[in-house]
Amino acid sequence: ARLPELLRRMPKAELHIHIEGSLEPELIFALAQRNGVSLPYADVESLRQAYAFTNLQSFLDIYYAGASVLIQEQDFYDMAWAYLQRAAADHVVHAELFFDPQTHTARGIAMETVVRGLHRACSDAKAQLGVDATLILCFLRHLSEEDALATLEQALPFRDLFIGVGLDSSELGHPPEKFARVFARCRELGLHLVAHAGEEGPPAYIWSALDVLNVQRIDHGVQALKDPALVQRLAQDRIPLTVCPFSNVKLCVFPDLASSNLAQLLDAGLAVTINSDDPAYFGGYLNDNFVQTFAATGLTAHHAYTLARNSFEASFVTEAQRHDWE
Ligand code: ADE
Ligand code: ZN
């Protein structure tokens, strides 16, 4: 079969998707109307035109503004359901969805509203789409560790509705060690641990995500190649990297897809996966990332199988569930 067809059809797991980053302009406008929220854009087209980013922060500013239309539990459900339908179409059989509760609780939305809406979409996805979907609560690293600790407390009544915690938002100036205590607490609670590191930030942030936070995966991690000792560590401990090719281009981490270092990371023996990050903002969902990245970098069918296998190996699913898919 043709390579794009193989890439599109193969079963895969998505491990790095911010559910607020799946909010399409059309749904932003529909929810704004439903909730009586006014937007500083005249229409869908002018909002989309604002999606021209120069770095991570320039994206985050508009991404947090977009999330302001999410008010009711049904809004969170509708957002996640739209993503899960697209994921099913891309032959995603397992998804681990990041969500940013502080973006919502800071606006007076209850934690319960956020978590219950997202979780109900995950339950329906299993029943109606055959997609196994779980939630990972992310702490915003531009806020204080005290704020993260308070957020964890607010989430504990819903402990069974998410499987782990992550760390996202503005990386530079907010190293992982800022969150040492809250991650230690999450570890005691038996939560899975991940963190964004080495997206724009230096290899030192990947080291401290591993050695101070004890994370099980690194989100992005593309700056690791600058440090050969770090590459060796990541290979030795088989620490997965959830790489997001479209994101890296849209946020100017790399000038174009051909400059992606995915092939070098794979050649170094790292457990690399491909993910969409914020598909509504970066120009495509998971299969678009696969097809266009393969076309631009000359990856082969052999790499496709490796990436699909890595996505299951790196996921937080049980051995029994994995066995069913492979
Ligand atoms: N939040 C949503 N997308 C993100 C990214 N790529 N990096 C950091 N925080 C994010
Ligand atoms: Zn991300």
Ligand 1 pocket: which of 20, 100, 250, 278 to mutate (most atoms within 8 A of CB): 278
- Residue 37 has a CB neighbour count (10 Å cut-off) of 14
Percent of the chain with pLDDT over 90: 97
- What is the 8-class DSSP label of residue 278? S
C-alpha 158/C-alpha 151 separation (Å) is: 12
Summarised one tens digit per residue, pLDDT across range 74-131 is 999 999 999 999 999 999 999 999 999 999 999 999 999 999 999 999 999 999 999 9
The stretch 159-165 carries a mean pLDDT of 98
ipTM value of the model? Answer: 0.98
The answer to whether residue 132 scores a pLDDT higher than 80 is yes
Q: 98 CA distance to ligand 1 centroid (A)?
A: 10
The pair of three-digit structure tokens given for residue 137, joined into one six-digit string: 């609560």
Domain residue limits, the chain: 3-315
Task: Please provide the CATH number assigned to the domain covering 3-315.
Answer: 3.20.20.140
Q: What is the pLDDT of residue 319?
A: 74
C-alpha 201/C-alpha 251 separation (Å) is: 13
C-alpha 199/C-alpha 182 separation (Å) is: 22
Summarised one tens digit per residue, pLDDT across range 13-64 is 999 999 999 999 999 999 999 999 999 999 999 999 999 999 999 999 999 9
Q: What is the pLDDT of residue 1?
A: 65
Q: How confident is the model at residue 167 (pLDDT cuts 50, 70, 90)?
A: very high
C-alpha dihedral, 187 to 189 to 192 to 198, nearest 10°: -40
The answer to whether residue 255 scores a pLDDT higher than 80 is yes
C-alpha 183/C-alpha 200 separation (Å) is: 22
10 Å CB burial of residue 275 (0-12, 13-18, 19+) is buried
Q: 96 CA distance to ligand 1 centroid (A)?
A: 15
The answer to whether residue 323 scores a pLDDT higher than 80 is no
What do you get for the CA distance between the two ends of the chain, in Å? Answer: 19
The pair of three-digit structure tokens given for residue 172, joined into one six-digit string: 């530079």
C-alpha 282/C-alpha 240 separation (Å) is: 22
- Residue ID of nearest Cα to ligand 1 atom 9: 169
Q: What is the pLDDT of residue 295?
A: 97
User: Distances from the Cα of 302 to the Cαs of 6, 297, 305, 310, in angstroms?
Assistant: 11, 14, 5, 12
Q: 107 CA distance to ligand 1 centroid (A)?
A: 19
Q: Which residues surround ligand 2, an ion (CB under 5 A)?
A: 277
C-alpha 118/C-alpha 77 separation (Å) is: 5
Report whether residue 200 contacts ligand 1, using a CB cutoff of 6 Å.
no
Closest CA to 283 of 242, 251, 314: 251
The pTM is what?
0.97
Higher pLDDT, 257 or 320: 257
Closest CA to 17 of 71, 82, 62: 82
- Residue ID of nearest Cα to ligand 1 atom 10: 169
Summarised one tens digit per residue, pLDDT across range 292-304 is 999 999 999 999 9
Adjacency order of strands within the sheet including 164-168: 12-18, 92-99, 132-140, 164-168, 192-197, 217-220, 241-243, 272-274
Summarised one tens digit per residue, pLDDT across range 179-225 is 999 999 999 999 999 999 999 999 999 999 999 999 999 999 999 99
Report whether residue 18 contacts ligand 1, using a CB cutoff of 6 Å.
yes
The structure tokens 């320039």 sit at 58
